[in-house]
Amino acid sequence: MDQDGSPSPKGAPSHRRNLLLLTTSGQIRTQSALASGGNGRLTKSANPIYVSAIQPLVKVTVLLLVPLFTAGAIGHGWRFLQARKQGRKPVSEKLLRPPGESLRLRIDSLLEAFDDQLTLLVGVSVAIAALYAVYAPGEGPWLFAGALLASLGCAGFFGYRLICLVRELQNHRLGFAGERAVGQALDQLLLRQGCDVFHDFPAANDWNIDHVVITPAAVYAVETKTRRKRPGPADSLDHQVTLDGDVLRFPDWNEREFIPQAQRNAAWLSEFLTKQLAEDVPVVPVLVLPGWFVERRAKSSVRVVTTKELKSTFDFRPKPGWENGAPLRRRLAAALEERCRTVEF
């Protein structure tokens, strides 16, 4: 007789051994396997412990990953074929950097990161739902609660990262709009005065000078800072910033970093141009606050202005050797242009 009370087949060995098998639904069943030769060892054809639960896991993994890799391969292949069909660019010379070029590149990078995080959120959520549907359908409330908590944790983690990316995107877009507004104002005002204007001057790998201006009298390093205003009427004091020495007093906070940053930019540019031209080149720092009204209480080491005050900020009186077309002016413009011409057509 077997252990379950059923009669043993004729000629069967006198003992059997129970093996635990994991079925596809996650339930545990027992199955008897005949021992070979009566020594308790299993034959080669009888698998000792067969874990069939691995099969659904492999299937789910394949169903999730194969479409992603296929789509990525198709996308890269299409880009490669399009690049070959397009041929050579009509213009090989690099272009000058427009206003806010560094911020534009940063915005593109943040948008790609946002897409990646959103894709991960959807992928992980689908994976959790698929694993629950395969392994634990109808297994009671505890497994469902665990799967729900895992999904909520995933949503909270990636949701937080998405919120941080959105905030950073909003700040960079505001800064980009401010630099573009100041750049357009400088172009319209100064190019007609015979001045040279360069935007988004790359000082180093991780920072830049928003605008560099060469007039017949001096070189200016222009820093743009764009900050939101509080809701309220346009003529209220909420739209006013007070310049108190080297401190900017906004309605909600005091800013102590803007003016030192403008000073550092001017000092770095002066050192750079002095090395390039082998003669001393002083640089005047300027800080522009688009859209704000500036009240000046104490003298500052930096010229702090709004976009409407740009015309009175620069000195256009010709200085000997700085006239338009003079050798020094040409060398200054060439040194700045060489560093600013980095944009591929």
Tell me if 121 sits within 8 A of 179, measured CB to CB.
no
- CA–CA gap between residue 317 and residue 329 (Å, rounded): 14
Domain ranges across the chain:
1-52, 193-343
- CA–CA gap between residue 336 and residue 43 (Å, rounded): 82
Cα separation values, 5 from 2, 8, 40, Å = 5, 9, 21
Cα separation values, 138 from 20, 28, 78, 141, 250, Å = 21, 15, 44, 8, 60
The predicted model scores a pTM of 0.72
- From first to last of its 345 residues, what are the pLDDT tens digits of the chain? 444 444 544 444 443 333 333 333 333 333 333 334 444 444 444 444 444 555 666 666 666 667 767 877 887 788 778 767 766 677 778 888 999 999 999 999 999 999 989 888 888 888 888 777 777 666 667 777 888 888 889 889 999 999 999 999 999 999 999 999 999 999 998 888 888 999 999 987 788 999 999 999 999 999 999 998 877 665 556 788 999 988 999 988 899 999 999 999 999 999 999 999 999 999 999 999 998 999 998 888 899 999 989 988 999 888 888 877 788 899 999 999 999 998 887
Question: Taking Cα atoms as reference points, which of 110, 142, 225 lies closest to residue 177?
Answer: 225
Structure-block tokens of residue 290: 């688009």
Please identify which residue in the block is written with the tokens 């996650």: 26
The 8 Å CB, 24+ separation contacts for 192-197 are 193/316, 194/324, 195/314, 195/316, 196/329, 196/332, 196/333, 196/336
